[in-house]
Structure 1
Amino acid sequence: RVFMHPELDDPFQAGERELAACPLGEQADAVVIDFHAEATSEKMCFAHFVDGRVSLVVGTHTHQPTADHQILNGGTGYMSDAGMCGDYDSSLGMDKEEPLNRFLSKVPKGRFEAANGPATLCGVGVEISDRTGLAEKIAPFRRGPRLEETAPSFWS
């Protein structure tokens, strides 16, 4: 909830409500949560909160792939941020000129425009148990010209 409006739903209460309505292993074979938040600490605490009750919690929003992919003690796969899909020679996928201008001058000169360079595709691969619905393997995935390419070895 960092940098968010206080009147928005509490993600912990909302997660609890949704998991009660559709529990893993009963009404769902797998549960994947995209946690779109600013703070990695909030994403990690949420993952621990739902550990053993969901297959995967993967963070988004910061657009920077993290190297903390892991399987938590209860069997939930976790990664703080999968990264973005787009031009990494940019400012979060936007042409660098206007964001840089705003940092330097504090005065907007124009709109943010999408960067048009070669795209990088970022994500996460997870292998989920057919028996439990929990993660058995997790690894990052990256393809493109700007970041080191990687793919889960269990995809081979």
Structure 2
Amino acid sequence: MSEPTVEICQIPPTFESLGLVADLLSEFDSFDHFEFGPLTRALSAQITNRHHVCAFRGKRLVGYCGLLPVRLVGAQAWLRNHGPLEPASSGTADAIALTVVAVREAGILRPLIRYCRRGFSDLPVFFKRSYGDGQRRARKSVVYNRTFRA
């Protein structure tokens, strides 16, 4: 029997969905330093507002990307470590930040990020990638979608 294909989708705003994502994140050391309350509230908001993308292999969650609509100026400062990342007020976002990313399998991350970018094709996407092992330097970047004009 062959392995099920990967399905990339969004999940409904339920407690079960929140639990699935929390279970996935609990497997990664990079999330150990986050406080439970703020992280849970951020995940809940991402799921409720459909600012997320998931990857499933069969019924198993194998990847998650959580997004935060932000202001471009704030995202640029955040990328340079010159301030916290703040959510944009309703309807004012001119950029997106990938704030929570976790994958259980190699090869899942790129399709997840592509799916995220499709949903916000006219906005730049900012991200910082840190590692729980302390051995690798954090990676920071911004990806400008083809239709974005600064």
Could you state the TM-score of these two structures normalised by the residue count of structure 2? 0.30
**Which one has a bigger Cα radius of gyration?**
1
| Structure with greater strand share of residues | 2
| Structure with greater helix share of residues | 2
Using CA pairs below 8 Å that are at least 6 residues apart, which structure has the higher relative contact order? Answer: 2
